[in-house]
Amino acid sequence: MGYSDQRFNVNLSILFTELPLLERPAAAAKAGFGAVELWWPWVDAPTPERSELDALKKAIEDAGVRLVGLNFYAGQLPGPDRGALSIPGEESEKFRANLAVAADFAQSLGCTALNALYGNRVDGVDPAVQDELALENLVSAAREADRVGAILLIEALNAPESPKCPLVSAPKAIEIVDKVNAATGLGNAKFLMDLYHLSMNGEDLPSVIEQYADRTGHVQIADNPGRGAPGTGSLPLEGLLDQLKKAGYEGWVGLEYKAADAAASFEWLPREARAAR
């Protein structure tokens, strides 16, 4: 099995960032990849101008790559924010304003996975109030995703890097997945299993895979320590992905790692294993 048995895509919000956004899809294609994913690219604009959306759509189409994952608006990412949907006031309003825009953009490119990042705890706000707001907004997000034939992803981050985020373990993320599915009856909320974040939490990765592979809608990887390419740290990523495959996971594996030179960072992955399939 090994890496050649997986379906990989490149996260263009963390790789190829030395290039302008509209040049990154072509760079991914040149490196041999047939699929890409994105964080919401307009950190200050949940509802960007149509011309900006159209330009990104054209860049993806012209490069001949598929968009297989997209985040809803999540605030300043990368940066201090970890999502917007649980934050009372302006941020959660921006999240709601973004829902139809992001879902329509995803649909226009055949993308069927939308990620909704939970957000940080806010000083002086009752966590229960934030959780109630979060569930309300996640229910709306699940319905928007369903409208365009997509799944809604719920991601666990890691406590060392995101100390104010409450979703920093696989069981906690799964708990939210279950609450959303119970509230909507749609069953389209799934776990986003980021092996880097879970390893930073010290979680037992083989056990997480065993328990939650069937609830997982998307996987992301980076090595640990360092959040670099596979082989730069000590995580047994090839074996973990093999285990996921054996457990029935057939979805995409997003490359969400840091590299000063993205094109040079893919040497661990044979070129024939990069094409979308």
Residues marked active site are found at 155, 256
Q: How far apart are the C-alpha atoms of 177 and 167, rounded to whole Å?
A: 11
Q: How many CB atoms lie within 10 A of CB 256?
A: 23
Q: Which residues of 206-244 are buried (b: 16+ CB within 10 A; e: fewer)?
A: eebbeebbebbbbbbbbbbeebbbbebbebebbebbbbb
What phi and psi values does residue 218 have, to the nearest 5 degrees?
Answer: -160, 150
Classify residue 16 as left (phi > 0), alpha (psi -120 to 50) or beta. left
Q: How far apart are the C-alpha atoms of 119 and 125, rounded to whole Å?
A: 13
Classify residue 258 as left (phi > 0), alpha (psi -120 to 50) or beta. beta
Q: How far apart are the C-alpha atoms of 156 and 165, rounded to whole Å?
A: 9
Q: How many CB atoms lie within 10 A of CB 146?
A: 17
Nearest to 142 by CA among 130, 159, 154, 160: 154
**Residue count (the chain):** 277
Q: Alpha helix (H) ranges present in the chain? A: 24-30, 50-63, 90-108, 127-147, 170-184, 195-200, 205-212, 237-246
206: helix, coil or strand? helix
Nearest to 37 by CA among 206, 150, 185, 129: 150
